Structure 1
Amino acid sequence: MRAFKFILFVAIFVLGLNGAEVSLRAKVSQMIMVGFNGASTKDAAFRAMLSDAGYERFGGVMLLGRNVTSKAQLKASIKAIKEKSPKIFIAIDEEGGNVSRMKDKSFDGPYPSAYEVASTLDIKSAYDLYSKMAINLKECGINLNFAPVVDLHDENSPIIAAKQRAFSEYASKVVIYADAFMDAFKEQGILTTLKHFPGHGSSKEDSHKNKSEVTLSKDALLPYKDAISTGRAQIIMVGHLFVKGIDDDNPATLSKKIITDLLRNELKFNGVVISDDMLMKGVGDEALAQKVVKFINAGGDILLFSEFKINNQRTADLITQIIIDAVNEKKISKERIDASYKRIMALKAKL
């Protein structure tokens, strides 16, 4: 029966509620996720986001520290969003440690970093901890977490190791703790995201601020291979990482060699690929429209933007028009949009 409902849900969204084909604009909107300012439902910025959510101008929202003050507040905010758009992705960065939005005591936190967890807790205790984290997020209405980090711990990394965001320097240890994280969240019905493909650990730079180069290694890919082969991998976030010897001209986010050739063809990942924040410096200096087109043609599905507006224009409107124009100009094929739309809606059917 559940399988039948899943197929029916996907069919409805592919054809539309009235049996008509879904418009290009509606499909493209699902490929956009935005951040926004404000924590209170009374904030003007929040109300603007809420209005756009009601018109389904984007497929998801990401919540940052600026959007969270307490569990009660977060629960009320998400309730308001879901009343406007029941199947919207409500995503949060909750890794524990330095990257945590659940610092208020009402969330039963704060939660330790990945490195601390793997250094001090056995697998059962780690699973129990992440179950508590997942339960708190579920109670608020979160349905997607941008975690776990499956990068390898490298002491020279200013953004991963320095902030204790990786479980371990050993890939095998990363695998078992990441599995505990994903299993705990799956039990609560929350989607998880492996990041930052193909591995941020060896970078000596912070991709939020600068161009970041990494060396591809078998060990760095092992957590992805394991999660894909076991069916745990639902969403993979691609980092703004220049992979030496693979694609020296484009960050992984914009690289067909990385997303299609490596991730999809070699590693056999058929799930949703999301970008890291497209407003980070590490993605490069090309025009925004060119970056958007490159990401989609590389094989990516969801474009992540931390800001609701870019140059005083609503991000979702701007990006949607860029993509539609690119399709009309045959820079992006309709088939490429359809493939992403189907992957996204298949994932939403599981919510």
Structure 2
Amino acid sequence: MKVNQSVIKDLSLKEKIAQLFLIGFHGNECNSDSEISKLIKNIKPGGVILFDKDMVFNKPVHNIKSPEQLKNLTAQLQEASEIPLFIGIDQEGGLINRLKPEYGFPVTKSHQELGNIDDTTVTQQEGALISEVLKQHGININFAPCVDLALNAESSIIAKRERCFGATSSEVNKHAQAYVQGHQENGVLTACKHFPGHGSAAGDTHAGFVDVTDTWESDELEPYKYMIQKGLCPVIMTSHIFNGNFDDKYPATLSKKTIQDLLRDQLGFDGVVISDDMQMRAISDHYGMKESLKLGLEAGIDVFCYGNNLLKEQIDLADAISTIQELVENGEITEERIDHSVNRILWAKAGLNL
């Protein structure tokens, strides 16, 4: 099926809701007997996210084994899907790198390394190199660049992993722009993250609740303003951090004040908003599935990411879809709200010429 805006008219409510999910899976092939093939054909999720390592069961191979295997896998995934899939990956470069040289992929530079070189031509070339490899292997969205500011040098999940172009928005802005322009050369979508800013945090939302109320700085919003104004921000990924400057009750992913009021209304963002992994403990330890999905939809999330690579318990996608369907049928969420997200998703997919 070719993706265009008329597609939404042909989808049932359940099929529309399924487009709101991007899921991870175990295995490195998608043949007719595989669980992921059956899930794609029967439940029709909007996309998948790929990992190289199995973080739950510590198996050496998750989805990525070699260039040839990956090319075959992504082709099989798309072939199984009636509506073209987002096939996403975290391939920032450097340490955040699912396509490792040991599997046969090129060496990449981290954001920090690119910031230290401080030549936007080099950064754009790196963005083009990364995205060329992604495109060659059937991956159409990169969950990068990380536009967090390196405000906390001791941050184990951000600065210590060399994920920042710099500590100021002026540094981050120019390199994020170049990095995204490199991806545009190859028609690969990018997602600026982690909104509204994770760079000052001491903790890691993978592990639990993280509060940046007292450390967050307004400069952390500037890269988003800049990239939105430049038209270089098709997708934004939210953080699960708690920031009382915007919402004294909910973490960013579940916060209407942060997503709808700040990101959409004040900053004027009309692209796709995707959650960080909903199985991170900052969410999963504090909110059940129904509550987190309802709050996320009310907040303005378009795509819920469930990587199935953090908890032993996998998301029951059919159950998640039924949960949202019940919310619509009970009048707690309108079908129009679902349509808004599906329209954004299909618009982004149409731009990829899938």
Q: TM-score, normalised by structure 1?
A: 0.91
Q: Which residue of 2 aligns with 1:38?
A: 27
Does the 8 Å contact 1:327/1:334 carry over to 2? Answer: yes
Q: Distance in 1 between matches of 2:120 and 2:147?
A: 16
Q: Which residue of 2 aligns with 1:146?
A: 143
Structure 1 residue 157, shift from structure 2 partner: 1.6
Per-residue deviation, residues 20-70 of structure 1 (Å, max 9, x unmatched)? xx21101100001100011234696xx111122123521000001121121
Q: Distance in 1 between matches of 2:252 and 2:32?
A: 36
Q: Distance in 1 between matches of 2:227 and 2:203?
A: 27
Structure 1 unmatched ranges of 5 or more: 1-7, 17-21
Q: Distance in 2 between matches of 1:316 and 1:163?
A: 32
Q: Distance in 2 between matches of 1:50 and 1:171?
A: 43
Q: Distance in 2 between matches of 1:29 and 1:348?
A: 15
Structure 1 residue 241, shift from structure 2 partner: 0.8
Specify whether residues 108 and 311 from structure 1 end up closer, same or farther in structure 2 by C-alpha distance, changes over 3 A only: closer
Q: Distance in 2 between matches of 1:27 and 1:282?
A: 27
Q: Distance in 2 between matches of 1:83 and 1:14?
A: 20
Q: Distance in 2 between matches of 1:78 and 1:29?
A: 19
The answer to whether residue 2 in structure 2 is matched with residue 13 in structure 1 is no
Matches within 5 A, 1:259-338: 259-283=259-283, 284-307=285-308, 315-338=316-339
Q: Which residue of 1 aligns with 2:345?
A: 344
Q: Which residue of 2 aligns with 1:28?
A: 17
The answer to whether residue 119 in structure 2 is matched with residue 122 in structure 1 is yes
Q: TM-score, normalised by structure 2?
A: 0.90
Matches within 5 A, 1:1-351: 9-16=3-10, 22-41=11-30, 47-65=34-52, 66-85=62-81, 87-104=84-101, 108-154=105-151, 155-215=153-213, 216-283=216-283, 284-307=285-308, 315-351=316-352
Specify whether residues 119 and 310 from structure 1 end up closer, same or farther in structure 2 by C-alpha distance, changes over 3 A only: closer
Q: Distance in 1 between matches of 2:96 and 2:314?
A: 29
Does the 8 Å contact 1:148/1:193 carry over to 2? Answer: yes
Structure 2 unmatched ranges of 5 or more: 53-61
Cα RMSD for the two superposed structures: 2.0
Does the 8 Å contact 1:308/1:315 carry over to 2? Answer: no
Q: Distance in 2 between matches of 1:163 and 1:204?
A: 13
Structure 1 residue 133, shift from structure 2 partner: 1.2
Specify whether residues 314 and 173 from structure 1 end up closer, same or farther in structure 2 by C-alpha distance, changes over 3 A only: closer
The alignment partner of 2:224 has SS state of: helix
